[in-house]
Amino acid sequence: MILTHRFLILAFFAPVLLFAQSTAPKYSNEFMNIGAGAAALGMSNTAVSMVDDVTAGYWNPAGLNRLKSKYEGALMHSEYFAGIAKYDYGAIALRLDTSSVLAVSLVRFGIDNIPDTRFLYDANGTINYGNVRSFAVADYGTLISYARKNVLLRNLNLGANFKIIRRQVGQFASAWGFGLDAGAQYQYKKWRFGLVARDVTGTYNAWSFNTNELQDVFLLTGNRIPENSVEVTLPKWVLGASRYVSFYDKIGLNMGIDADFTFDGKRNTIIQSDVLSIDPKIGMEVNYVKVVYLRAGMGNVQKIKDFNQESKLTPQFNFGVGIRIKKIQIDYALANVGDVRSNGLYSNIFSLKIGIQ
């Protein structure tokens, strides 16, 4: 019985420990790809060219220069897997002058109060529930953003993020990571174009393990005790374009398309190769006098095999609504965490945005 409980603990940690041993895993720091703000999530993360508020610090730092207020803040909360995992986002932006903006964004994705049953049995082999402890597994991301207008091209905005990553697996393992993002936005007539290079230099997570806490479990299960290691998040480019159209001076339509370019090998995307994979997504937002907003998006299109082992393209659809009262905006999105086959992973996402001055 002792072996069984300790094996369950080890099974929980196995994915984290295996990822940390790889030099450049295909999926690293994925919690930083969930999204920020219910408005963009309702459009399936189509935001690189559209974004023009404080959430640009997350999507494309160049978009911060299109802030409409001197100060702007945003908060978002969502839960996944029946509330087991919680995702929180907060950001604040400050316009320094007419051509530059500074912003700070914080992200947390975590699971709290996980039972630690390693000490469920006392020295006499008797179950003692008072010995059950708890721990949390959480990932933290901090983005310090700076955006500035280009002095040579009036319609070109540039921006960059300094990224700090903190990953904590209870008292068992932890990592610090650092990286950079770079972004640009350009407006041509009614068209807007955006480009962001995430982890442009690679984001390096340095893992360390508290082997004293896990040594007994590894010895009982015959597994190799992990060593401290470095995990690298490879660069990803996101290219986008959008256009805003007005109807009858009261109705506005904003439509856009983004495409993620990854260079870490073949992924389950529409366009894929051994070197490059491209994941396109589209989104749209309809507003009435820029007070009421309706949103929809489609993305994360994957090839899924049915019972006959025949592959078919399966998209993921997201939806959202919003309301703006002066400089206060409340948004809601019904968005999927990423599994196109499961309706159970849809989450109710709420966000609040406030502008001052």
The total of structural domains in the chain comes to 1
The CATH number assigned to the domain holding 243 equals: 2.40.160.40
Mean pLDDT of the chain: 85
- Containing 95, the helix (H) or strand (E) segment is strand 85-97
Give, in order, the Cα–Cα distances in Å from 347 to each of 68, 187, 248, 254, 285: 30, 33, 35, 24, 20
Q: Are 209 and 223 in contact (CB under 8 A)?
A: no
Lowest-confidence segment of 110-124, 152-166, 186-200, 278-292 by average pLDDT: 110-124
Lowest-confidence segment of 14-23, 79-88, 114-123, 125-134 by average pLDDT: 14-23
**What is the share, in percent, of the chain residues with pLDDT greater than 90?**
54
The two tokens of residue 304 are: 């899924």
Give the model confidence (pLDDT) of 58-90 as tens digits: 999 999 999 999 999 999 999 887 788 899 999
Q: The whole model's pTM is what?
A: 0.84
pLDDT of residue 354: 96
Q: Which range marks the domain in which residue 284 is found?
A: 2-356
CA proximity to 240, closest of 283, 202, 199: 283
Q: Looking at the predicted structure, is the pLDDT value of residue 181 above 70?
A: yes
Strand boundaries in 199-235, DSSP class E: 203-209, 229-233
Q: Looking at the predicted structure, is the pLDDT value of residue 19 above 60?
A: no
Give the model confidence (pLDDT) of 207-245 as tens digits: 888 877 777 767 777 677 667 788 888 899 999 999 999
Strand boundaries in 5-58, DSSP class E: none
Mean pLDDT (whole number) for 153-182? 92
Mean pLDDT (whole number) for 272-294? 93
Higher pLDDT, 196 or 264: 196
Higher pLDDT, 24 or 120: 120
